[in-house]
Amino acid sequence: MYKQLVINVAEHETRVALLEDGDIAEFYVDRGDDSDIAGNIYKGRVLRVLPGMQAAFVNVGLNQAAFIYVDDVFYDDFKEYERLFEIESEEEEDKLEENPAPAVLHKNNYTIEELIHEGQEILVQAAKSPMGTKGARISSYISLPGRFLVLMPNSTHIGISRRIEDEVERERLKSMVNNLRTEDFGYIVRTAAEGEQEEKLAYEMGFLNNLWKNIQKKFETAPAPSLLHKELSISLRAVRDLLIQEVEKLVIDSKPTYEAVLSFLDTYMPSLKDHVVFYEGCEPVFEAYNLEGDISRALKRKVWLKSGGYILIEHTEALVAIDVNTGRYVGKHNLEETILKTNLEAVKEIAYQIRLRDLGGIIIIDFIDMEKKSSQEKIFSALQEALKKDKSKTHVLPISEMGLIQMTRKRTRDPLTRILCEPCVYCDGEGYLLSRQSICYNIYREILRDVHDMKGTRLTLRVNPQIAELLLGQENPLIARLERSIGKQIVIYPNPEFHMEQFDIFEVIGD
């Protein structure tokens, strides 16, 4: 599979697209706000401790207070901490490699009020960016990712990424890191370190150690709240986490960013500088790669399949619901075959959309009902296979008796629709408006309710033009009955500036 990164840099935002065989697979946006702060390190002040929630709110200088759970609070008891942070599997090591600010992996026996108190100044790292109405999730277990290593200054554990499968190489790297250690720190050896020599790991280890010491010095003198360390820009993170490891080509349309990337590669991987291309075309780079249409499609509720079927993606506060429908596809042979083919096509599109839209949390998929157990098993296996490309942790349950697949996906930031969209100004995000007929009947009831207080001889009704057309046409008998009932003339005026549900009623006294 041919992979490449395309980076579009503008004054107001930076967009990064990961392409797999020419199709956009992942999309990231950075607008210089608080929407993507994972990995940042802050000096915060505890605002409020909540014993009932075993959590606390911390002011780290963002618009919303961040929150920290009891299991994410570091306590200065080295032996107890080592037991707490003991990593029991390679899978847990991999979680640390992928997430620069992980939550603690094992629970402790302390309560939140025993560990921190209101007004206390603490060193924390953003584990999850703010999402919707929720503030950022933070942890006081710090980890600093480099290209080859992840430094864990509060641990002594040395772990190796499970993606390095060769046992001889795993032992070589573990022994090398253990011999290079000059501080009593823990490290995770990342996948990119496979085959690398001692000099590169020693250089990065020294860099990360000095970075941690500088953060500690800043903490001693900086006011609370304040930002002590900012994670790399979205462009350099893409280079660090994707280019060196799996991407063959990087295209950038900004000269300063292009030069910054080359400088970054000079430090970590000079041999990859030839893979970076400065885009100089007249057409915008995302247009040249036909990405704008795919991004717009990723914001739609309905996604059509090539066969004529479609899927519907609905966001709720608690979960994401995905529904599969045959749509225009009628099949060629029998019903079961038609349903299975539609569901199999939907599986690929669902896995693609989940990754592209960065959907997270609980996801419920309602496939078209299949009678055969073998068909259900095919769909379940196909979905598991399709999700293997996704770097985010997923957990999928088999199809239930109700024909639903329940799954979870690790969520660290808002989905694409939350980043690029906002609630409808008309329906306030509800997704529905009152029907025109319902609005007419609301007007009827309001006039009847208030007419006793009106002294005028006639009423003026200002409404949206579509409502005016309905009242003067199909619903005109309603207005005629109302005029006879209240003994007043009703004059209707359309106002194109009115919202569909908006109307004003005025009484006119005299002529």
Number of domains in the chain: 4
The 10 Å Cβ neighbour count of residue 253 is 20
DSSP string over 245-294:
TT-SEEEES-HHHHHHHHHHHHHH-GGGGGGEEE---SS-HHHHTT-HHH
Distance between CA atoms of residues 119 and 96, nearest Å? 30
Q: What is the CATH number of the domain that holds 241?
A: 3.30.420.60
For 45, the 3-state DSSP assignment is: strand
The pLDDT score that the predictor gives to residue 511 is 56
Note whether 73 and 177 are same-domain residues. yes
Which token pair is 259? 């030069």
Last residue of a domain, one of 420, 446, 481: 420
Which token pair is 451? 């007419």
Tens of pLDDT, residues 360-397: 899 999 998 888 899 999 999 999 999 988 888 899 99
Q: Is the pLDDT of residue 328 over 90?
A: no
Which token pair is 505? 């009623």
Note whether 108 and 208 are same-domain residues. yes
Note whether 226 and 240 are same-domain residues. no
Tens of pLDDT, residues 477-501: 999 998 888 888 899 999 999 988 8
Q: What is the CATH number of the domain that holds 472?
A: 3.40.1260.20
Which token pair is 68? 């920290």
- What is the pTM assigned to this prediction? 0.74
The pLDDT score that the predictor gives to residue 443 is 92
Range of the domain at 323: 300-420
Q: Is the pLDDT of residue 250 over 80?
A: yes
- For residue 272, the surrounding DSSP H or E stretch is none
